[in-house]
Structure 1
Amino acid sequence: MSSGKKIWSAALLATAMLAATAACGSGSGESADGKIKLRFSYWGSGARQKMTDEAIAKFEAKNPTIDVEGEISDFPSYYDTLSTKVAAKDAPDIMALEIRALREYAERGTLADLAAKVNTADMDDKVLTTGVIDGKQYAIPSGVNAFSMVVNPGLAKQAKVTLPDDGSWTWEDFVELSSKVTSGSGGKVTGTQLTWNPAYLQIYAAQKGEQFYDGNKLGISPQTLKDWWVITQNLIKTKGSPAAAKSSEIYDVGIEETLIGTNTGATSMIWSNVLGAATKASGQTLELLRMPKIEGATTGGMFLQPAMFYTASSTSEHAAEAAKFIDFMVNDPEAGQIILSDRGLPANAKVLSAVSDKLPDADQKTMAFVDKIRGELVESPAAPPKGSSAMEDVIRRYTEEVVFGRMTPDEAAQKFIAEANAMLSG
């Protein structure tokens, strides 16, 4: 479930080396048969690898002078592996990145400017600009998603709990619903699984009228942090979530092992493109809901964010071919028919339209949900400052200090803000 906790651990050790790589070539070149060879680095499951290999084969059939070699790793090791390659002057030609890693790589000269090299005419400008750093289009969104609440209606019904009107429910309503599910099921099902994903805090802060980041520092007040932790404390206190120790134990598990995935939890906060995997894991009908709101808030704070970006190495020996592959992945309907929503709902509106009828039921729900809430969403946030890739680690650590009773919320808020600001200032 965690989506960014180890992004830059190895790269922090390789900072000086990363800065020196801009003038050096990537490890691409030519195949034994004289074809241009491109390397494409990405993370994911076996299912994603199968889709990607099929898309690569389609690209190669259309471009017979180019071979693309996929380099896949699991998410926990992805950024350590990638940063090691970059530091060793062996950067792949094409790299998948999250928004939290984008500025770090771009500002170290690792990425190429893709403006005018990839066709972006059919992409939402607001989403496209999330890949812009210092006026340069370093990244092209693969697809979009929204951090949302997923619910298992069947488990709620078994616990004799009525689902809320998600257009008006509050955080207090969420805590109450979670507690009722746990008690109504006799403890066989827990109301929710705790998360401390930065997107959750970002949404909550927006409801308070605050930005997560204000330049190279946090824009969140100590009071907002304390109020946010109260939700977690109340969930634990009312048994709407597992206790602190259990919540910490299951925090990093894959979707198949989460409470929602094992049908032992009725709700969870997830990125919307995970709905398909969660549905498959649970074998039950799941639905997406808006996130709860602070009572009286003028915005729900939800936003669209690229599920991932395609980027190209600034040192690639075949920059034009790398851009051509990215263009294919985001703009070609045949690629869209293969990838569907695995990397988020396609960012290209025409591709989304072309594949919409072929999307699985869960992804149809995701598409309908995003369409329903689109007019309520706040502007997609820009790439966060350098250092932010470790933010989830820091949030989790201080949250656990609070829920395990080792720090008061006041103390934790002050120390969290000080540490986060030091990290962001760099």
Structure 2
Amino acid sequence: MRLQRNRRITPVRLATASAALALILSACGDDGDDESTDDAAQQAAGDDDGDDSDPEEVELRFSWWGSDSRHEETQEIIDLFEEEHPHISIVPDFTDWGSYWDRLATSTAGGDAPDIMTQEERYMTDYALRDQLLDLNEVSDVLDLSEIDELALGGGEIDGGLYAVATGVNAFTVVANTQVFDDAGVDLPDDTAWTWDDFYDIVGEIAENSDAYGLQPEGSNEAGLKVYARQRGEALYDADGSFGFSPQTLAGFWQGLLDAVEAGHAPDATEVMEFEGPDTSLVATDDGAMGFWWTNQLGALDGVAEGELELLRMPGEFEHQQPGMYLKPAMFYSISSQTEHPEEAAMFVDFLLNDVRAAEIMLTDRGLPANLRVRDEISTLLPETEKQVSDFMAEIAPDLADPPPPPPHGAGEIPDILTRIWEEVLFEQVSPDDGAQQFIDEGSAAIGG
């Protein structure tokens, strides 16, 4: 579901650069909502001392991945930024997820990196360690991060520098289909107290009292393993970049899922391989009670499901040493270390993060906004499912553990390794114990651990 908004029509740009400068200066007399952006504009244009010379024409390239709707919304934001800064042109550079990383790697290696790029946590460290990202502390006079959620801000810190800032935040959760629970005569659990044993008991109770499955088993998403390990005082990655969990922990995580499959409480291996994203999932088709999903996927699930969907904490959050859930940056904005215009690039990132008008266009497509003020100001505009996500995130935030460190160099290979070995475990080609050790061996080689 999406909120219908009136499209902004980009006005014809001002005829002269001096008129453009006057527009920037006059904006300082507004109500203060865009004060930081306007100040940055004045600094970058060099007009603090009253110099009325034409500002330098600047062209910046901004890269991102995503759906057609994200591309359209991002272009609206670019148009809005260019209206206020006519001397800066933002060239869009977008593609789908599958093509994005090859394109970014090629352009960066060829010395033609986008000035502003969208990053993901598994690849960000690789780019930072190759000196391809700007330390954002160098543009702190332009880029205001004072209102960014502290639980998300640390996700962009690597070796003492800040190389990326979160666009927004998500959490990995259990999504429950309340219609399936009702049909089975089972009450929703108290997610502030349930354990992993409780979770699998409910999975079985659902399956034995209805025509639906209790669970869609998912053992290849590293987020689930990360939460499970953190609850036990371990981690997917330690601060030094090596694996921080035991093979027994991974084997135990997989064993619970396999037990549900073997008992008929979850679909078998062949059925599991047929699921392709939220649209075809058991929760979305009302054929299953629960599944593991990111909070920003609730809208896609809800758009298909007939039953009402409920977000729940992961089981075991208060069972062991600490909570395992955390706020994960949905994605990041970074600036190329090779950009010829770092201040203007920082102005645009500041606009993306801190201008409420940009957030009114994007809403939660890049995660629940990382800027706490902006998050609050757009709350009344959110469609029902996104409002549900916002309320859930506010509810769980006080109970969350500190976010994990950024993944190490080579972490981009881990999802493929984990998926391949999980499928071998699921099809009983290898035991959970042997598969866990195989994953640690192969994964350690990939990350140099």
- TM-score range (shorter-chain normalised) is 0.7 to 0.9
Letter in 1 for 2:309: L
1:260 aligns with 2:283: yes
Kept in 1, the 8 Å contact 2:61–2:93? The answer is yes
Match of 1:204 in 2: 228
Q: Quote the offset at 1:190 in angstroms.
A: 5.5
Match of 1:140 in 2: 165
Match of 1:213 in 2: 237
Q: Quote the offset at 1:35 in angstroms.
A: 4.5
Distance across 1 between alignment mates of 2:300 and 2:86: 34
Q: Quote the offset at 1:114 in angstroms.
A: 1.4
Of stretches 75-84 and 366-375 in structure 1, the one that deviates more from structure 2 is 75-84
Kept in 2, the 8 Å contact 1:193–1:267? The answer is no
Q: TM-score, normalised on structure 2? A: 0.82
**Could you say if the C-alpha distance between residues 284 and 313 of structure 1 is closer, same or farther in structure 2, counting changes exceeding 3 Å?**
farther
Match of 1:321 in 2: 344
2:205 pairs, out of 157, 160, 180, with 180
After superposition, give the CA deviation of every residue in 1:20-75 in whole Å (9 maximum; x if it has no partner).
xxxxxxxxxxxxxx953222111111221222111111111111112212222222
Letter in 1 for 2:229: A
How many residues of Structure 1 are paired with residues of Structure 2 in the alignment?
A: 390
Match of 2:43 in 1: none
After superposition, give the CA deviation of every residue in 1:124-156 in whole Å (9 maximum; x if it has no partner).
333212111111111011111111111111122
Match of 2:5 in 1: none
Distance across 1 between alignment mates of 2:57 and 2:234: 52
1:234 aligns with 2:256: no
Kept in 2, the 8 Å contact 1:175–1:240? The answer is no
Kept in 2, the 8 Å contact 1:177–1:191? The answer is no
Residues 91-102 of structure 1 mapped to structure 2, 5 A cutoff:
91-102=113-124
**Could you say if the C-alpha distance between residues 61 and 282 of structure 1 is closer, same or farther in structure 2, counting changes exceeding 3 Å?**
farther
Distance across 2 between alignment mates of 1:254 and 1:409: 25
Kept in 2, the 8 Å contact 1:291–1:300? The answer is no
Match of 2:305 in 1: 282
What SS does the corresponding residue of 1:380 show, helix, strand or coil? coil
What SS does the corresponding residue of 2:249 show, helix, strand or coil? helix
Kept in 2, the 8 Å contact 1:276–1:362? The answer is yes
Which protein is bigger by CA-based radius of gyration? 2
**Could you say if the C-alpha distance between residues 281 and 311 of structure 1 is closer, same or farther in structure 2, counting changes exceeding 3 Å?**
farther
- Structure 1: segments with no counterpart, 5+ residues: 1-33
Match of 2:175 in 1: 150
What SS does the corresponding residue of 2:92 show, helix, strand or coil? strand
Kept in 2, the 8 Å contact 1:204–1:228? The answer is yes
Distance across 1 between alignment mates of 2:357 and 2:317: 43
Kept in 1, the 8 Å contact 2:177–2:283? The answer is yes
What SS does the corresponding residue of 2:192 show, helix, strand or coil? coil
What SS does the corresponding residue of 1:276 show, helix, strand or coil? helix
Q: CA RMSD in A?
A: 1.9
Match of 2:47 in 1: none
- Structure 2: segments with no counterpart, 5+ residues: 1-55
What SS does the corresponding residue of 2:98 show, helix, strand or coil? helix
Identity of aligned residues (%): 40
Q: Quote the offset at 1:294 in angstroms.
A: 7.6
Match of 1:27 in 2: none
After superposition, give the CA deviation of every residue in 1:202-223 in whole Å (9 maximum; x if it has no partner).
1101111112112231111111
Match of 1:375 in 2: 398
What SS does the corresponding residue of 1:70 show, helix, strand or coil? strand
Distance across 1 between alignment mates of 2:265 and 2:92: 43
Match of 2:438 in 1: 415
